[in-house]
Amino acid sequence: MLTPQSPPASQAGAIKWLRENLFSGPMNTILTILGVGIVVYLVNLGLPWFLHSVWNANSLAECRSAITATWGPDAHGACWAMIRERWSQFMFGFYPNVFYWRPILALLLLFVALAPILFAEFSNRLTIAGGVVAALVVWLAASYGEWLPVGILAVVAAIAGLLAVQGTKWPHNLIWFPIVYAGIAFWLLWGGSIFTPIAALAGIVVGWLAFRILAPIAGNIVAVTAAVVAPVLWWYFGSEPVIDLLSRALPRVEPFWLPPVDSDQFGGFVLAFVIGLTGIAFSLPMGIVLALGRRSDMLLVKALCVGFIEFIRGVPLITLLFTASLLLNYFLPPGTNFDIILRVIIMVTLFSAAYIAEVIRGGLAALPRGQYEAADALGLDYWKAQRLIIMPQALKISIPGIVSSFIGLFKDTTLVVFVALLDPLKGITDAVRASIEWKGIYWEPYIFVGAIFFLVCFSMSRYSMYLENRLKREHR
């Protein structure tokens, strides 16, 4: 028997990989050499600029002087001292600095709210992440001398622990918090009476009660209509007197009241996250409803959904933003104060919902007819079939397209600069460059803001891939 021998050097290891992937043919070899040349050129062009960076300076003139003194009169370098000096403006806009703890706390609680939605199984990594969030909340409270963050976290932990003791397992012991978080985040960011978000959340409870009471009696259509109308009536007629009564009965101190912050003080990534996350949260369910309506057999419902989707898809987002900013007030009663950020959120949500509806419609069309026939064979009505069989499969198919729409929505938040809101890319950058100290700086703010946008969008993309792999049950 022949003694086993090692393969030739050209058929193993790195040399084999290079031959198969980079030099497998004449065209591949030319493209590899061309690509390496471009990379080398870009590195030679940009690397000295990064290596000559200055982090300690009070103006652009000081940055240039430091670069000249260290690297010579012909040297160029990045002035990251501008980010060091003005990072708070990029993060918070013109939000009052004594209240920075409020948007930071809203961000930390966002992770708590997302955990039961994004992760169905409890793990050691999730435990470590929860401990880090708790430690950051305590650090935030100690740094600003505000112990309200610890109180909120303690209440959330107590309710989740109580549900866990009663046998409610993860994530159901915390699944209630995403709904409550919407009111807490609004109260933290805008301030005012705590009873304003409580009254808003009470409208959801009113709609749920209307649906549960009327569904067995009058059917699903009447129940759904009542579930929509009842909260609107509560918000329009009932909530204001209740808020006024409770606000007058209790003192204007924490935890019943926070100093208000106007919307024109929002800016930077606080504004981008508020618009982006709210749009994402509301556009997905709205897109599902529009997709089902477009495939409906009822002519009126189908016509309305098709008309809405095609109109929104045929109009640029910036046109809708101008409509929200300038024209909407002409159709409202005199003296109506319709917050500009709320108007932008509504238009961004409607815009994104139209695109998500088409993505989900593609997922519904991809399902074989047998799935619908199986639901009919089981005796399921329309809504149960959609909830238990059709929609879970359609959403799984549509995950890449839905996440792509979310990423596009988050990046489109920079367009709000055209309606006089200070987005982080253009609005805050121009505000920083308007000061005499940083007049003339160009690349640094765009690179900094672009890097943060990349991290957020890349994280959404990676979670999309994780979710796709987790739901690939047919390949296991």
**Residue 369, pLDDT score:** 87
Distances (CA, A) of 451 to 376, 410, 458: 50, 14, 10
User: Nearest-CA neighbor of 151 among 300, 255, 259?
Assistant: 255
Under a CB-based contact definition with an 8 Å cutoff, are residues 338 and 332 in contact?
Answer: yes
What are the backbone angles phi and psi of residue 192, rounded to the nearest 5°? 90, -160
Q: What pLDDT shows up at residue 269?
A: 93
The amino acid that residue 117 corresponds to is I
Answer whether 134's CB lies under 8 Å from 153's CB. yes
Query: What does 259-307 look like in DSSP terms, one character per residue?
Result: ----GGG-BHHHHHHHHHHHHHHHHHHHHHHHHHHHT-S-HHHHHHHHH
pLDDT at site 1: 61
Nearest to 383 by CA among 224, 150, 183: 224
343 in Cβ contact with 278 (< 8 Å):
no
Closest CA to 364 of 341, 335, 389: 389
- Backbone φ, ψ for residue 94 (5° rounding): -110, 30
Look at residue 353 in the predicted model and tell me its pLDDT.
94
Residues of the chain with pLDDT under 70: 1-2, 7-13, 331-336, 473-476
Burial class of residue 175 (count of CB atoms within 10 Å of its CB; 0-12, 13-18, 19+): middle
The structure tokens listed for 133 are: 């969030």
User: Do 263 and 339 contact (CB within 8 A), yes or no?
Assistant: yes
To which H or E segment does residue 190 belong?
A: helix 177-190
Burial classification of residue 405, based on how many CB atoms lie within 10 Å of its CB (0-12 exposed, 13-18 middle, 19 or more buried): buried
pLDDT at position 474, please? 57
Q: What is the pLDDT of residue 285?
A: 92
Q: How far apart are CA 238 and CA 245, in angstroms?
A: 11
Tokens of 364: 């519904």
Phi-psi domain of 193 (left: phi exceeds 0; alpha: psi -120 through 50; beta: other): beta
Spatial separation of the C-alpha atoms in residues 254 and 252, rounded to whole Å:
7
Q: Is 255 helix (H, G, I), strand (E, B) or coil?
A: coil
Query: Residue 58 carries which DSSP code?
Result: S
